[in-house]
Amino acid sequence: MARVLVAYGTSEGQTERIAEVIGDVLRDAGHEAAVLDVNDLGGVVPEGYDAVVLGASIHMGKHDKHVVALARDNLGTLERLPSAFFSVSLAAQGDQAEAEGYVRQFEEETGWHPDQRALFGGALLYTHYGFLKRRMMRRIVAGKPGDLGVDTSRDYVYTEWDAVRAFAEHVAAGLEPGAG
Ligand SMILES: Cc1cc2nc3c(=O)[nH]c(=O)nc-3n(C[C@H](O)[C@H](O)[C@H](O)COP(=O)(O)O)c2cc1C
């Protein structure tokens, strides 16, 4: 059994939901998983974990700055342990090149090259956004590839949960054998 830290940076909650599913899959595989908001870590990857999974969403072309800082400032720990990164964006839904570019930029910025990486589609939560954000997001996605939704009276979730579970199973398989 391995103890795995799954830390996420989220603005509207989608990356947290993905992190929770990853935690569930790791536990089902017999590992111990702590799923934590990066803001609760105080900038430090705590001692006592055998592996680390970090996840961050994209806003305005950039990954969550707290996750960027955590990766950059804990590079030694992340390089010593099995590690994985997942990126959450709308680009992952229809513009793979852009989504991959975000991850390349993240790796350049942090110096961290995780053992495994995944790109997941995020969510368009129009009904949760304020007036200005709703209008801005509609305008942005209307000009983007990927057939993204423009009906602001509803939400759209592009996360492929099977891909999230497959990623987590892959992470789990690379760790010490599960207890059960
Ligand atoms: C204000 C705003 C800006 C965004 N900018 C981008 C962007 O530049 N590129 C992109 O692919 N997705 C962008 N997104 C989509 C988010 O990555 C997506 O909504 C994701 O699900 C957010 O995850 P979170 O809820 O964990 O923060 C943006 C979303 C919002 C609300």
pLDDT tens figures, 75-95: 999 999 999 999 999 999 989
Question: Does 145 have pLDDT greater than 90?
Answer: no
17: CA distance to ligand 1 center in Å?
14
Q: 143: pLDDT confidence band, cut at 50, 70 and 90?
A: confident
DSSP state letters, 118-156:
EEEE-EE-GGGS-HHHHHHHHHHHHTSSS-----TTS-E
pLDDT in tens, 106-116: 999 999 999 99
Higher pLDDT, 143 or 71: 71
Tell me the pTM.
0.97
Ligand 1 surroundings by CB, under 6 angstroms:
10-15, 57-61, 88-91, 122-123, 133, 137
Taken in order of first residue, the domains within the chain and their CATH numbers are 3-122+159-173 (3.40.50.360), 124-157 (no CATH)
28: CA distance to ligand 1 center in Å?
30
Beta bridge partners of 85: 54, 117
Burial of 38 (0-12, 13-18, 19+ CB in 10 A): buried
Q: What are phi and psi of 158, to 5 degrees?
A: -105, 0
